[in-house]
Amino acid sequence: MRLSLAVLAIVVAWSATARAGGDPTRGEVIFRQCSACHAVGPKAPVKLGPPLNGVVGGAWATRPHYAYSAGLVAGQKAGRTWDEATLNEWLTAPQKLVPKTKMFFGGLHDQQQRDDVIAYLKQFEENGEKNKP
């Protein structure tokens, strides 16, 4: 019984640690499904969606050369930012966070995948350069 409780405690502690921060390497793999519409890195172009350089911590609807939906523009005017909690909510269900958004994506339903994508995006400065570890 004690061994079972010890194993359970280790598993719970490990899963909490895993969720505390994502893995940018796994996030890069998951981001491939986003790359049809979004780009990151130096000289990332506007595609169907805006480039996502510097998005983590950045203001809503501020990337140049992209026509944002009215809901995202309203969020920008209200001072909304893409903090990790908001990105998590967005990646879960974009249409729920911003009804009538142009982003037609059903969402990432796995918390670890969302954490990993956010960790991947967090690496990119607004100019597309990766943060130095």
pLDDT of 51-103, one tens digit each? 999 999 999 999 999 999 999 999 999 999 999 999 999 999 999 999 999 99
The per-residue b/e assignment along 111-120, b for 16 or more CB within 10 angstroms, e otherwise, is: ebbbbbbbbb
6: pLDDT confidence band, cut at 50, 70 and 90? very low
Summarised one tens digit per residue, pLDDT across range 36-55 is: 999 999 999 999 999 999 99
- The predicted pLDDT at position 132 comes to 74
Q: In angstroms, how far is CA 121 from the centroid of its own chain?
A: 6
- Other Cβ atoms closer than 10 A to 7: 10
Per-residue DSSP letter, 37: T
Scored b (16 or more CB within 10 A) or e, 39-77 reads: bbeeebeeeebbbbbbbbeeebbbbeeeebeebbeebee
pTM for the structure as a whole? 0.83
- Tell me what pLDDT residue 2 has: 53
When pLDDT is averaged across residues 16-31 and rounded to a whole number, the result is 82
45 secondary structure, DSSP code: P
- Residue ranges of domains in the chain: 23-122
pLDDT at 10 over 50: no
For position 9, what pLDDT does the model report? 43
Q: Confirm or reject CATH 1.10.760.10 for domain 23-122, answering yes or no.
A: yes
